[in-house]
Amino acid sequence: MEVSDATAALLVAMSPATIDRRLAPDPAAMSLRGRGTFQRRQGTPPVALPARPPLDVLDWITTAHQHAAAAEHTLAVAITRAPQAGQPWSTIGALLGVSRQAAQQRFAAPQAPHAARIRS
């Protein structure tokens, strides 16, 4: 699909809903049925999808694992800084969907053990 500069400028100024309305070929050709599934009406031909190269699922797993590790690191850094910025653990836990104690146990820096007192 090629879009001219003038058309691109108009699209940028529009809301996503307006763009959808203008780009939809015939909204009446689709009807909602059941739990959010669409059923094509008679006479509407299906759209053929372009051919794609085969997906290397093992490469996909490797990439997903790398992204998950990076996200976990970013989350740990952000949560480490939140208490330093004065945010309570209860708020951090609520954002993560866990209790204050669970958030603290998972992300708080381990405390050094208290020095044992030597009695002489």
Does 115 map to a domain? no
Q: How many structural domains are present in the chain? A: 2
The yes-or-no verdict on residue 48 having pLDDT over 90 is: no
Does 78 map to a domain? yes
The yes-or-no verdict on residue 73 having pLDDT over 80 is: yes
Mean pLDDT, all residues of the chain: 79
The mean per-residue pLDDT over the stretch 4-15 comes to: 79
Q: Is the dihedral of CA 99, 100, 102, 107 positive or negative?
A: positive
The yes-or-no verdict on residue 54 having pLDDT over 70 is: yes
Does 36 map to a domain? yes
Model confidence band, residue 82 (pLDDT cutoffs 50, 70, 90): very high
Does 49 map to a domain? no
- CB-based contacts of 14, cutoff 8 Å, min separation 6: 22
Q: Residues 36, 63: one domain? A: no
Does 97 map to a domain? yes
Q: Residues 62, 92: one domain? A: yes
The mean per-residue pLDDT over the stretch 19-27 comes to: 66
Q: Residues 67, 31: one domain? A: no
Q: Residues 68, 100: one domain? A: yes
Q: Residues 61, 90: one domain? A: yes
Q: Residues 62, 102: one domain? A: yes
Q: Residues 61, 33: one domain? A: no
Report which listed range, 15-29, 37-51, 81-95, is most confident: 81-95
Model confidence band, residue 4 (pLDDT cutoffs 50, 70, 90): confident
Does 47 map to a domain? no
Does 48 map to a domain? no
Does 80 map to a domain? yes
Q: Measured between alpha carbons, how far is 83 from 33 in angstroms, rounded to an integer? A: 49
Q: Measured between alpha carbons, how far is 2 from 8 in angstroms, rounded to an integer? A: 10
Name residue, tokens 């609520």.
Answer: 94
Domain that holds residue 31: 5-40
Let me know the angle formed at the C-alpha of 26 by 25 and 31, rounded to the nearest 5 degrees: 135
Report pLDDT for 83: 94
